[in-house]
Amino acid sequence: MKIKDERIVSASRRILNETYLLVMTFALVSLFSKYYFLKLPMSSYVTELVMIGGSVLYIIVRQLTLGLEIIHSTHQAKLWWSLAAVGLSILATIIAGFQNYQQYHAKYQGVFDKHFLMALVFLFAANLLLTGVIIATLYWLNRRGQASFERRINR
């Protein structure tokens, strides 16, 4: 009876997993540096965007096809995802708000200028809406994936 050495397969997978995390970390740092510090055009960091976006999409599709739950339907999980959406929106608002102020500070009368505060509120609402739509789509896809997996098991 010939079987592949599971210990080596498992160790190789662990190494690949760590390598993926390292590459993604470098890609994120590179993307952030090019966008935020170096202020380079999008064409210079499109590779990183495709890498990160593509791999995230691939992970989601693979998890759905294998019947793994991306978002659990428990109350605690829903609360966690809601907090994550608010947290991500706040982070995105801080980054965009900082850039906005650097670019248009001459037009504002200080940080508490009502136009700047309005811009921040608008940015936060837009970010929250976008994050909410993404999470709701993931939740819907997750429910569909789970239902399809259940049908496959019952068959």
Residues lying near other proteins in the complex (CB under 8 A):
1-8
Only one residue has tokens 């706040």, namely 90
Decide: residue 121, CB within 10 A, 0-12 exposed, 13-18 middle, 19+ buried: exposed
Query: Whose Cβ is closer to other proteins: residue 3's or residue 42's?
Result: 3
C-beta of residue 141 within 8 angstroms of C-beta of residue 60: yes
Q: What are the distances in angstroms from CA 34 to CA 6, 93, 101?
A: 41, 19, 19
Distance CA 42, CA 114 (A): 31
Query: Whose Cβ is closer to other proteins: residue 10's or residue 65's?
Result: 10
Query: Whose Cβ is closer to other proteins: residue 1's or residue 106's?
Result: 1
> What is the nearest approach in angstroms of other proteins to the Cβ of residue 54?
32
> What is the nearest approach in angstroms of other proteins to the Cβ of residue 14?
13
> What is the nearest approach in angstroms of other proteins to the Cβ of residue 5?
4
> What is the nearest approach in angstroms of other proteins to the Cβ of residue 4?
7
C-beta of residue 34 within 8 angstroms of C-beta of residue 16: no
> What is the nearest approach in angstroms of other proteins to the Cβ of residue 25?
29
C-beta of residue 117 within 8 angstroms of C-beta of residue 39: no
